[in-house]
Structure formats: structure tokens, C-alpha cells
A and B are shown apart, each in its own frame.
Chain A
């Protein structure tokens, strides 16, 4: 292997890739903008702090004025409507997120020691805003109900403790804030997706695309070895996957900060990562980029045409989601037994680093296994490229 020829090939590949709008789109625009926006925008828009829920209220008489005054808040806008209005229709039309019908003699019913008033709520639970409105309203109803209970109990002369004989004392043992937990879920997922999708277009273009456009034939008549060609192209594929992943980290982090703000967590991330852990995340990102780039090279060198490569490679971006999702539902023991599985290994390092749980043994094992997979994938890719089939299959 001649390093200067590899550098020449890499240099040309990089120049060519940077002039290709589709590569730039996959490498820069999508990671930094599209997915974080898609993820966080709905939550941001649904947030009642930013955008209070609109609730239509039908009062049978003014005995429910007191309850209604308590219901209205910064997050809940109550609007009184006429008794003749069709509540179902109003909700269906989207005029209001929720409708409340308050019964007649509301306060008088509650004054008694043993009577119950029924509040009817109209809501479309298939809409996110409807669900948010329902939980907000139910919260207010429970609060008001608790107040009535206290009043009723007080009249009997019993102390408030009589109603809650057992109290639950929950103590959080997580050392990290909610931001870190959110990142521990999102980061492996996103980094996996971007490691795969960031360089996918480039890899298809530089292997199957070159074959299809017949530029490969001229390249193969140069005094370079096919190993040098594969390695030169692979290095740029890794670089592109890496850039795309790093931009994704920035995009997601920005998204989490905005999102945490949107749901009212002023403490934002509650995140403190040591330099060592940050380095681990960086290395794991590199490993993910190398794993996916080598796998993509292998698959698309085999493909006859760009289209065929596309058909082979597209499922990868869905496959990579599986370990990221599965990780959330696996027990710690089961997860450890997957430590040497491809993709799982790098994702585990990222998660453990974020949650400050990484141990030297597991990290070494995870890195080693990832490296072995990469070398195997690349070796097979080079073997295919070295065989006449690389040329004849078109």
C-alpha cells in the first residue's frame, strides 16, 4: 500500500463530494436541521406554556363560578359558551381542545357531606393537544376535589392524616439530570442514524455510481492497487459520516436545550460530562462511522448500479434504529450480553458515557469488537473489489 496514492485518491474523493449538493444535504443540512426540528417541533408546539389550551365551558348556573375561576390559568384559557352550543361539533372542528359542562347547583351539591357532582368533559384523545388539555383539566379537578374532601373531613373533626394513612416517599437516585437521560436515549439513536445516512449517498456514488458512470474503468487502469482505491474512498466515507454525526450532536443538543426550555425545565440539561466521557463519546462516534462506512462500502461495491446500491443500503437506516430502541427496554444484564454485538457496542459506550457508568473493561471489549467487525467488512469489500466481478458485473 502506497500512502501518498491513498491520499491522492482521498483528496479527489473529498473535492468531488464537497461539490455534490446531495452529499452536502445528507452530511450537513439534514443532521443539523431536519431531524432535530422534526423531533422537537411537535413537543414545542404542543407545549401549553407557549400556547395555552382553549377550553369551552358550559355553565348551567353561576354556582360553578368558584371552580371555574380556579380552572383558568396561564396554561388554560377558559371560554364560556352558550348552553345551546353543540360541544362535540366544536371539538371536532378544532375550535377548542376540550369542552367542559358544569352541572347545575354545583357548589350546593358539594356543600353536602355525601353527595357527588359530575363534570362532563368532551375531548379528542387522538390529538396531542387534546391529551395535554385533559391532563391539565383533570389535575385542576383533582385539586378542587381534594379541597372539598379536606373541608368535609374538617367538619367531622378528623385530622387530615386520617385520609392518607400511608405516604410514599420517592427518592431519585439518578446522578444526572433529565437532560442527560433524554440525551442517553436520543444520542445513540441519532448518531446511529447519521453514521449510516450521512455517508450513504457518498458511498453509493463513489462505488456503484463510479461503476455505472464508467469512471471506475479509467481509475482501474492506473498503477494503483485496488486496496489503495478502497482505503482511499473509505477514509472519506468515514470523514463524512463523522462530520454528519458531530453536526447531529450539535443539532440534538441545541434541540434538547430548546425543548427543555419549552416544557418549563429551566435547569435545562442538568448535564455535566467529564472530559474522559466526552472523549469516549467522540471515539464511539468514530467507531459508529467506521462500522457503517465499511458495511456500506462492502454492500455497494457488490451492487451493479447506483439504484441497486440504494435498494441494498436503504434498509440499513432502519436496521440501525433497532438496537437504539431495544436498549431502552433491555435489562442491564441482557444489555451487557449484547456488548459485542455490532452497533450495540458503540451505542452502549455513548449511553454509558452520558450516564457516567462506563467501565474500562466493557469499553475495551466494545471497542475491540467494533474494530474487528470493521476490519472484516473492509477486507471483504477489498476482496470483492479485487475480484474481476467488480468489473464484470455491469
Chain B
């Protein structure tokens, strides 16, 4: 496996000594199989996610999409096949170590940590990257204090840019689903990913907010300078956003290619998209979605004009 040079927007990260490698990573899946008892949830899937690309994974419920992500992040044991991140065989890494390789995962339920505050949730991402021993924390050694200060500075920036300031001390359990998603995205940015596994980032979010996710995800892709593998039910969003689309059915890949190819692929249509236009138009006409959507604040109902990167502002259930 040869090194793949970063192809996306080139950010200068040479000042960051923590990351052993930077830039988007290339994921290669070879004959991947995952079985739960007799059920073969993923059955011989091979695909390559090129460095810096956004690949969408679509398919009906139970077609093995989430299981595929689980396999890449190491949460389920493989019953066959191999996984490579650039030239590293992922079989050598347990889930905690995979995050050090730059594989970052978001979850469908986006439960996060119910009793941690937003601040602590974000600090946690920094904890994983800058480890400080318990003993030096207990004795409040100078390096432990410095590290804690640096972490706080890093998350202060992210909290400000995501507009999370007023939720800083709220526990996650008290946030709305939409706000939790934003916190989740903020922790993704902090985690400095090279390969980003997103599991239905728009699940549980109002349709209007979901539209705003297209520019948001695009900006996320740019800012984190990563490769994205995205599982999503919102087909127009996938077609709009992704450079490649993979359609899965009962654990197998039935179609793959650029959005245009897949849209014309009869097998893809049969497997998931269906013959009707309804599924294709969940997020509204594609042309409309390509212009930046007007973000809305759910709590105030007041529209706020913003740059292309704006999305639905976080809102609070109890507010």
C-alpha cells in the first residue's frame, strides 16, 4: 500500500506534534464479512474510500451499513476480510487505538454522555489526545496544569465557533437532539480526524435543519481535512454531498459509483431508491439544496442570515 498524498484543501498542520500523521486517510475494505450468529450482516464487501473524498453509504434498514461502520471502528469482530487505513492493517488496533490513528466515529443515537456538561464532553476529546497521568493530575504538576489550560483554550475556540457558549455548563441529558448533534460535530472537529465515520448525522433532526446540514458537512469536511464515510437515509443529501455513493442490500454492495451513475443504475433503483421520485426528493429539489439554506433558530423562530457555513442554531428543550 502506497502513501496517498492529501488531495483536499491543504491545511498546515506541521505545527501539531501530537498527530503522527496528518491529512485525509484512504480506507480500503477487502472482502469484509461480519456475522452475528447465523446472520451475515456484512457479506464480502470490498470498497475503497479515496483520501479526501466523501463517500455516501445508502441502503434499506438492516442492509449492514451501520455494521460496516462498526467494523471499521472496531466495535464488532470481523468474521472475514481485512481493513486498511493507508498502509496500516486495522486488525492490529483496538477501538481506542484506532481513534489515535485518526478514525473518528459519530453515532446514530448521538447519546453522548448524559451526565457530562458540554464543556466536559469536549474536554474529553482533548483528553484522548493529550494524556496526563493521574498521579501528575493529583499532584497538580506544572505540565498537568499547562495541559489542562491548553485543552481549555482549544475547546473555548470550538465552543465559540459552534455557538455553544450558552450550553457550556448544561449536561448533555438536558440538550435537544439537534444541539447534541452540534456538540457531537464540535467534538469531531476537536478530535482532528483523518477518516470520519458519520452514522446518520441528520437522524432525529427536523427536515429544515437537515437541509442546513449539507453546507455544514461540507465545511466540516474542509475544516477537518479528512475523508468522510457517511451513512444516511436522506438520499438527496447524499447525492448532493458525496463524490461517490455506495448502495448496500442485505450485507452486499449492489451498486457503487458517482451519484449520477448510481442514480441511473437499475440495481440501485431496485434495491433502495425505488422507481418513484419521492425518495429522491426528501430534502426538496436538488437545485434548491445546492444554494445555502437559511438557518433558523428553533427556539426563537427568528431567521439569522449567515455565511455559507451556517446551519440551524442549537436549541434547548427546556428553554
Query: Does B associate with A?
Result: no
- List chain A positions with a Cβ less than 8 A from chain B: none
